[in-house]
Amino acid sequence: MGKTYDIDRIVDEVVSLPSLPGTVALIMRLVDDPNTPLSLVAKAISADPPLAIKTLRLVNTAYYGLRQKVTTIEHAVVLLGTKVIKNLAFTATVLDIMKDEMDSFFLHSVACGVAMRTIAMTGPGGLAIESPEEAFVYGLLHDIGKVLFKKYLPAEAEEVRRLVLSEGVATYEAEQRIIGVDHSEMGASIGLKWKLPEILVSAIRGHHDISRCPTPDEARLAAATAVADFICTQCGLESDGGPVRVSQDAWDASGLSNSHIPRIMDAFFAELPTINELVSASE
């Protein structure tokens, strides 16, 4: 086994965390200011044509359920509101970063986003989010740390994959053994760099170990993310073939009981076509 890292060393010496594109950072700032007019948000997105095109492609998928075709960002902002558009622009950006990854990883991330949205819409509630679309972002981002490992530590990432397949250990456990840091910690580092909300960063950090979340709200979101991950894996939409488990603490923190699960699963099965549509719209 080669050398291992701690999170500070890996960020300082190995991994160059990608910056959030300026337009998306600007959109996030604008939307967070309640005094920002809708037109300004639309202008900011339209000023970045590739982002505007990707956003419109996503807007027009069945996932967003709009009955009419939307051809301008201004129209999309009016129909969906700035918060949904913020998540959409952010989603378009993250999908762009991930799209060169293995198909299975990309599909798993989108599927987890859809599963999280389904949990938010049909579960017991109590998630500290503004909308189901925000839940989508939690699922989408939860494994983003794996992208960085694959890019900056390819030999170690391959060793992790081999260990997962040969010994059947969970990916995050193999990462801790071989790299010293797991993808949840790595993903949280990007979240910090991108100045994502603290609760989202914490949910990414805690999705395999909710004791890493300092507040009950954060633990509940991390737990819901773990359940979304588990549902996708059981449905054959797994990321890397590693086993995924949900601890009893996470089940308890998620607030999900057996009375919710069939509803969530049925709603998730009904959303499966939109997963493929979202993946296609991102290519």
Partner 1 sequence: MGRVTFLDGRVGSVVLVGPRSNPKGAMAVLPGDSAGAVKTLPLPQVMDSLQPATLVEVLAVQERAFGNSGLQPLG
Alpha-carbon span 53 to 161, nearest angstrom:
35
Judged by beta carbon, residue 47 or residue 270, the one nearer partner 1 is: 270
Alpha-carbon span 270 to 138, nearest angstrom:
20
Judged by beta carbon, residue 26 or residue 246, the one nearer partner 1 is: 246
Judged by beta carbon, residue 215 or residue 280, the one nearer partner 1 is: 280
The answer to whether 162 and 188 have CB atoms below 8 angstroms apart is: no
Alpha-carbon span 201 to 141, nearest angstrom:
10
Alpha-carbon span 96 to 213, nearest angstrom:
28
117: which 2 tokens? 């949205």
Alpha-carbon span 187 to 39, nearest angstrom:
33
Task: Give the x/- contact pattern for partner 1 in 213-232, rule: CB under 8 A.
Answer: --------------x--xx-
Judged by beta carbon, residue 24 or residue 237, the one nearer partner 1 is: 237
Q: Where are the alpha helices (DSSP H) in 64-102?
A: 73-80, 82-98
Judged by beta carbon, residue 126 or residue 197, the one nearer partner 1 is: 126
Task: Give the x/- contact pattern for partner 1 in 161-200, rule: CB under 8 A.
Answer: ----------------------------------------
Alpha-carbon span 198 to 233, nearest angstrom:
27
Alpha-carbon span 89 to 27, nearest angstrom:
8
| Minimum distance, C-beta of residue 265 to partner 1, in the bound complex (Å) | 5
Judged by beta carbon, residue 131 or residue 247, the one nearer partner 1 is: 247
Task: Give the x/- contact pattern for partner 1 in 235-264, rule: CB under 8 A.
Answer: xxx-------xx----x----xxxx-xx--
According to the binding rule CB under 8 A, does residue 234 interact with partner 1?
yes
| Minimum distance, C-beta of residue 11 to partner 1, in the bound complex (Å) | 34
Binding residue count for partner 1, defined by CB under 8 A: 22
| Minimum distance, C-beta of residue 111 to partner 1, in the bound complex (Å) | 10
φ, ψ (nearest 5 deg) of residue 47: -70, -10
Alpha-carbon span 220 to 206, nearest angstrom:
10
Applying CB under 8 A, the residues found at the interface with partner 1 are 227, 230-231, 234-237, 245-246, 251, 256-259, 261-262, 265-266, 269-270, 272-273
